[in-house]
């Protein structure tokens, strides 16, 4: 059975462009409940740790630099079938391939600066949520 929580970050490009409000509105209108949220900035070290799974990829350095370049909004979201439904809502990693109306189609610049992150599995949703939030910061 699929889980009911996912983890997201509104990335530095979308924050800098002033899209926090529009993106959160689209997330809430799609039926997701925010159970944890913070406005924060990742150090290069923390960004490197979060994306360690991509360490061998050619874009890793660029990704770490970008993700630590400015503030982000991190949140845990709750909804039935959260991981899959949220990935549909945000669209493909490359905004050029994202379906019309999805968050990345509307707000992302390119495959690297792609506005928003969404967990790719229930297991990673838990790992990523625990990376950013302590239990007392989550309000079910």
Residues whose CB falls within 8 Å of the CB of residue 9, separated by 6 or more in sequence, listed in order: 72, 73, 74, 75, 116, 117
Nearer residue to ligand CMP within complex by CB, 105 or 111 = 111
- The minimum distance between CB 71 and ligand CMP, in angstroms, equals 16
- The minimum distance between CB 136 and ligand CMP, in angstroms, equals 26
CB neighbours of residue 13 within 10 Å: 21
Using CA atoms, how far apart are residues 67 and 70, in angstroms rounded to an integer? 7
- The minimum distance between CB 120 and ligand CMP, in angstroms, equals 7
Nearer residue to ligand CMP within complex by CB, 102 or 114 = 114
Using CA atoms, how far apart are residues 8 and 21, in angstroms rounded to an integer? 15
Whether residue 19 lies in the annotated active site: no
The one among 117, 128, 129, 133 contacting ligand CMP by CB under 6 A: 117
Q: Angle at CA 66, nearest 5°, toward 107 and 33?
A: 50
Q: Which of residues 31-70 bind ligand CMP (CB under 6 A)?
A: 54, 59, 62-63
For position 111 contacting ligand CMP by CB under 6 A, the verdict is yes
Hey, is 41 helix, strand or coil? coil
Q: Which of residues 63-102 bind ligand CMP (CB under 6 A)?
A: 63, 93
Nearest CA-CA partner of 44 in 62, 29, 20, 31: 62
State the residues that interact with ligand CMP by CB under 6 A: 54, 59, 62-63, 93, 111-112, 114, 117
Residues assigned a catalytic role = 117
């Amino acid at each position: 059975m699929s889980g009911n929580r996912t983890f997201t970050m509104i990335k530095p490009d979308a924050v800098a462009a002033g899209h926090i409000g529009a993106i959160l509105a689209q997330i809430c209108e799609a039926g997701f409940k925010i159970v944890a949220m913070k406005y924060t900035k990742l150090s290069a070290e923390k960004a490197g740790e979060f994306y360690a799974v991509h360490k061998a990829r050619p874009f890793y350095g660029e990704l770490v630099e970008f993700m630590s370049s400015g503030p982000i909004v991190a949140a845990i979201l709750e909804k039935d079938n959260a991981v899959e439904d949220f990935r549909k809502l945000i669209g493909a990693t490359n905004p050029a391939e994202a379906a019309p109306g999805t968050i990345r189609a509307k707000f992302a610049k390119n495959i690297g600066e792609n506005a928003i992150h969404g967990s790719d599995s229930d297991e990673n949703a838990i790992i990523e949520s625990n990376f950013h939030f302590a239990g007392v910061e989550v309000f079910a």
